[in-house]
């Protein structure tokens, strides 16, 4: 099944917003985990220092990867906005607000 412009625009806008939110949530939860692990490595008596250090370094890599993913998602958002303008799905390269989730809204914008 192929998508028409209105359907594709609505689907991409919805899924992009969901992806951005999921990455932000993952980043927040992972940094909270890093915080808790750092406190535990400091406060728990008998915690093996070398093992906790390795774990903290792995968590740091996860956080860095999520920050990189967030930046790439922002770049994709900008590129998709420019594509929307070129295809007539949008009038100017602005980011849709959180309520931008239905094909009805896309039709209104494209008109």
User: How is residue 71 written in tokens?
Assistant: 């930046």
Q: Which residues of 61-91 are buried (b: 16+ CB within 10 A; e: fewer)?
A: eebeebeebeeebeeebeebbeebeeeebbe
Q: How confident is the model at residue 4 (pLDDT cuts 50, 70, 90)?
A: confident
Mean model confidence pLDDT for the chain: 85
Per-residue pLDDT tens over the stretch 56-94: 999 999 999 999 999 999 999 999 999 988 888 865 545
Count the residues in the chain.
111
């Amino acid at each position: 099944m192929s998508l028409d412009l209105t359907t594709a625009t609505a689907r991409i806008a919805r899924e992009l917003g969901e992806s951005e939110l999921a990455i932000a949530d993952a980043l927040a939860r992972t940094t909270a985990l890093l915080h808790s692990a750092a406190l535990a490595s400091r406060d728990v008596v008998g915690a093996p220092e070398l093992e906790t250090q390795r774990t903290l370094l792995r968590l740091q890599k996860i956080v860095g990867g999520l920050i990189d993913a967030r930046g790439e998602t922002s770049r994709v958002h900008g590129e998709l906005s420019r594509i929307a303008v070129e295809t007539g799905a949008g009038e100017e390269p602005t980011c849709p607000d959180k309520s931008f989730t239905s094909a009805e809204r896309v039709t209104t914008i494209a008109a």
